[in-house]
Homo-oligomer: A and B are copies of this chain.
């Protein structure tokens, strides 16, 4: 008999790989943070001894969500203002608040709040684009969550840099610093086509090549962005990025609304990943990413919430539902973005976008034990004829009961194990008072 650290026997096991599989009466064995076996529970009992055995009678066990687009620390600006036009929002609220408040403490505390929210709603990895990366890394390390963090680059000054070269000079040494980190990955994150010159984008591409890094960027988020790019260069943003040599299987295009058939073809040909953020796109009236059309063309489509200042939460269950709903409505076809498609976008496709689908994103032998348990024994998910349907169309973030990252339990029956939630909320109230008094 083989000895392992942990065996979990859930009511349903949803491994995501192989596709369209729901296992019942199965258990999963974990050793040294990795999955060593998935077998019928009866057989598992015969083959393995374990330090800990957890039976989850009413739960689905599945891979943790990969939230593939966040600005985590912006949680501190959640709901500061809503229901106003984008440029009014940026010019009169968000940018002045950032200018006034951005600091290492803001980033650490805001990221910690975001991580607490993410763990409690089942996210085990997030792909972030913001400022003061070491402060965000610290919050992620303290919590034990997996994260990709972008070296953000602008041509314009912000509290974190003066110009493109300054952002690069400050950011690039971090690749060396974190290169062997088990849970942290760095990416290049040029903000958007309207804040980066062609020369800057070429510099970013070269840096990405040097550090073998992924690039993630807001692309074709709004109609205005596309119009401005055409007016300035005669090219649409995606076309322009292609001409500059940025598009490859290491490029993550975030938002991607108002898409032409040629752009779907180009995305497939260049093997980029697309990150769909349906709730942010709806709330800001940005447009619609044709997620199912991208998937049909073979493009990898992941799911992201965007920052809490524009969403206003980091809830991947709700985001899956919105992705399914929006696709059905916009394609006039209730069969598009099915429940299992939404679940795959929210897990495995996020890992693929980050080039980490050999490491996490599904529950198969050899992968990291990044897992979540969701309790379906609730009045809002009963009956549960099909757990995939219950998860996407009826379940709720508060039904996430347990979360493991690399085998470490970060949420234990709804309780955070690595973050003091009471102290966190007290601290956030202090930030709230400070920010709202100005």
A159: chain B residues within 8 A (beta carbon): none
Of A78, A80, A85, A390, the most chain B CB neighbours within 10 A belong to A78
CB-CB contacts below 8 Å: A245-285 with B: 279, 281-285
B339 close to A83 (CB less than 8 A) = yes
CB distance from A100 to the nearest CB of B (A): 15
A380: chain B residues within 8 A (beta carbon): 117, 120-121, 313-315, 397
Tell me the complex Cα distance, A396–B117, Å: 12
A432: chain B residues within 8 A (beta carbon): 382-385
- Residue in contact with A390 in the complex, picked from B79, B328, B384, B393, CB distance below 8 Å: B79
A79 close to B285 (CB less than 8 A) = no
Tell me the complex Cα distance, A141–B311, Å: 39
A389 close to B82 (CB less than 8 A) = yes
B394 close to A79 (CB less than 8 A) = yes
B334 close to A379 (CB less than 8 A) = no
B379 close to A282 (CB less than 8 A) = no
CB distance from A324 to the nearest CB of B (A): 7
CB-CB contacts below 8 Å: A304-329 with B: 308, 311-315, 318, 322, 324-326, 328-329
A311: chain B residues within 8 A (beta carbon): 393
Binds B, one of A27-35, A37-45, A213-221, A421-429: A421-429
The 10 closest A-B pairs by CB, nearest first: A383-B432, A282-B325, A398-B398, A79-B389, A312-B393, A83-B338, A282-B329, A116-B379, A285-B328, A285-B334
A84 CB–B CB distance under 8 Å: yes
A393 close to B283 (CB less than 8 A) = yes
A243: chain B residues within 8 A (beta carbon): none
B329 close to A288 (CB less than 8 A) = yes
A435 CB–B CB distance under 8 Å: yes
Tell me the complex Cα distance, A377–B429, Å: 10
Q: List 30 A-B contacts (CB under 8 A).
A: A79-B385, A79-B393, A80-B385, A82-B389, A83-B324, A83-B334, A83-B335, A83-B339, A84-B334, A117-B380, A120-B379, A281-B329, A282-B326, A282-B328, A283-B325, A284-B328, A284-B334, A285-B329, A285-B333, A285-B334, A287-B329, A312-B390, A312-B394, A322-B322, A382-B425, A382-B428, A382-B429, A383-B431, A383-B432, A396-B396
